[in-house]
Amino acid sequence: MSTKNSKPNQFFKNIYKNDRLKGFVKSCSIVLASSSVALATVLGLYNRNFLDVAIGEAVLPVLIALLTSIFLYLIFIFFTKDRLFSVVAVMASSIFLTKFENFFIRFKDFIDDFVVWSTPYDYQYVLLLLFLFLALGILIITLIKKKLPHGVLSKFRQLLKFFVLASVIFTSTYIVQIAIKFVRYPDLINGDHTLNSKISLGKSVKPDIYYFIFDRYANNDTLQKYYNYDNSEFKAAMEKRGFVFNKNTHSNYPYTATSLSSTFNSSYLNSITEDLPGNYSELFYRRLIANNNNFKTLQENGYTYYHSGSWWGTTRTNPNANYNFVDAFSIKILGKKYVTTDFQDTLLEGTIFRRLFAARIPLFSRIIHYEKNDQRQIVNYQLGAAKELVQKSTSENIFGLFHILSPHPQYVFDAEGNVPSYHPDPKTLDVPESVKYVNQLKYINTRILETVDYIIQNSDTEPIIVFQTDEGPYLFDCNDFSNCSWNSTDEERWQWKFGVLSAIYQPKKDTRYDVTPVNLFPYLFNTYFNTSVEYQDANSYIFNLEEDSYNFTEVTELLKKSLPGSQ
């Protein structure tokens, strides 16, 4: 028996005697302990948003947390020569750096008001505040080690060890929770979801396709009844240019993620969501949108797919696109542009890194630079990008997708496209929301007409231009999907949210266009590529985002009874 135990005991003794291995384990322990607070910030946010965030999105923040912690530890250990105090100092620094914006604003105001020194460059305040914090930390550690009696210092060190251990355990609980969720949701998180199959398009002339999705663009019934605005002039202007409107169109779903997933996949969501848990997952819909086979079909049949997303993470980019037009959130590292995600932006917001990465620090900004544009810049950039594609159409078959978050709030345009005098938030009622919405709509109408004119006039062959809404605007008594009473049987409520605008400019002028959004791509394929894709029935569904988000209830008949009118 002793012989059997001697081998493993000797094995561990040999490991313990291996100085290199001991040093490696000790270094790893220091890194883990030092970075525990920073990692808890990243992993905690990822854990709370597990169903909405891909694991790859957490890699860059984790690396930044680790590298920053190591860098700070090296600074503190150099000046203090004390591992324990250096680890604790890094943990305290992590809290300071993640809440940096709060300290920065107060510090800058103090310097400007009470110190005879000022600079137009924010980064100089950032570097000064960081220097003062690190210097103060080193000074405090030095004073504690010198001034505290040996007995008190020994007890204090024991307290610090307990604090470090508690922090490591706390961070480890996030790792365990995340691991459990990976086991619990394997198909939801790792599945390569798609709803339809790729098809072979018949050989024919391939018209360029420009697909514009203007988020929350209401139909004329809604505008007249609830916004006191008649949009007939815009409709007439579009018809004069050759657009055909689909009268009485209803969206298939009242929420962008579900609506686009259904339209892009030419299928309703009921079949694929039957076995999913009730928890809503933005990540699931993001994959449905990105991996749809309609776009892949176009690519495999000679189209170049250009994607122009919004600031919304689900359509910000598409990894399957040939090119992504992005002007929202990005980090440039050594000149190469990396588009950041909502998750990464949330982590950066309020930290020292947002200030440092966005600052024009000499030399540093050439290595790494962060850009965050507002909705005004993004919308104008997207419409400008549409014109750029026309220049490429002479040598390529173009499929351009533009998901434009306007007239969707924030309300950043007045009727002439200027910065409005009122607050852009719909909840701030300095001006009625209906006024804000209509003003932004008027400007968007002007830009739409300019854009389609340019495309039509500068295309070598007649293009297909699709103008579609994914969902109607929210009712005035709720500002987002989760706050609305979707269990109501109020027919007008459904008409408001489901009533959308749909129009097409196409080479075949005499072709009838009366398809529901889910049938858009079957219509295009059947009409222009000699296919015979089966059409879906025109249905509309609701669901409860907070409780049972994959249990869809059909409201088609309710919508048919409510306010039929014309667009």
Which residue range forms the structural domain that includes residue 519? 206-325+374-561
Cα distances (angstroms) measured from residue 100 to each of 21, 44, 96, 456: 37, 18, 6, 50
Bridge partners for 370 per DSSP: 331
Asked if residues 264 and 288 have their Cβ atoms less than 8 Å apart, the reply is yes
**Are 416 and 450 part of one and the same domain?**
yes
Mean pLDDT of 100-111: 86
Q: What is the pTM of this model?
A: 0.83
Work out the burial of residue 472: count CB atoms within 10 Å of its CB; fewer than 13 is exposed, 13-18 middle, 19 or more buried. Answer: buried
Amino acid at 76: F
Instruction: Supply the pLDDT for residue 566.
Output: 40
Tell me how far apart the alpha carbons of residues 328 and 338 are, in angstroms, rounded to a whole number.
Answer: 11
Domain boundary pick from 122, 154, 184: 184
| Pair (149, 213) in one structural domain | no
From 516, 513, 560, 557, select the one nearest 536 (Cα to Cα): 516
Dihedral of CA atoms 259, 261, 267, 268 in degrees, nearest 10, equals -50
Separation of alpha carbons 89 and 69, rounded Å = 10
Examine the domain organization and report whether 155 and 276 are in the same domain.
Answer: no
549's enclosing H/E stretch is strand 548-554
Q: How far apart are CA 361 and CA 364, in angstroms?
A: 5
Over residues 284-319, the pLDDT tens digits come to 888 889 999 899 999 998 899 999 988 888 898 898
Q: How many domains does the chain have?
A: 2
pLDDT digit string, tens, across residues 512-546: 788 899 999 999 999 998 888 899 999 999 887 66
Domain harbouring 314, CATH code: 3.40.720.10
Q: Could you tell me where the beta strands, DSSP code E, fall in 291-409?
A: 303-308, 323-325, 329-333, 336-339, 368-372, 397-404
**Is 349 domain-assigned?**
no
Q: Which two tokens stand for residue 226?
A: 């609830």
Model confidence pLDDT, tens digit, residues 167-204 = 999 999 999 999 998 888 776 555 555 666 667 776 66
277 and 396 together in one domain: yes
**Residue 351 falls inside a structural domain:** no
DSSP 500: B
Please report whether residue 337 resides in a domain: no
Same domain assignment for residues 49 and 84: yes
Whether 426 is covered by a domain: the verdict is yes
Alpha-carbon distance of 41 to 94, in angstroms, equals: 9
Q: Kindly report, residue by residue over 214-236, the tens digit of the pLDDT.
A: 999 999 988 998 899 999 999 99
Q: What is the pLDDT of residues 125-171, one digit of tens each?
A: 888 888 999 999 999 999 998 888 888 889 988 999 999 999 999 99
Average pLDDT over residues 458-467: 92
Asked if residue 415 is part of any domain, the answer here is yes
On whether residue 567 sits in a domain, the answer given is: no
User: Are 530 and 486 members of one domain?
Assistant: yes
Same-domain check for residues 120 and 247: no
Across-strand partners of 306?
Answer: 323, 400
Instruction: Identify which of 183, 423, 401 has the alpha carbon closest to the alpha carbon of residue 296.
Output: 401
Whether residues 117 and 236 share a domain: the answer is no
Strands 502-505 and 464-468: antiparallel
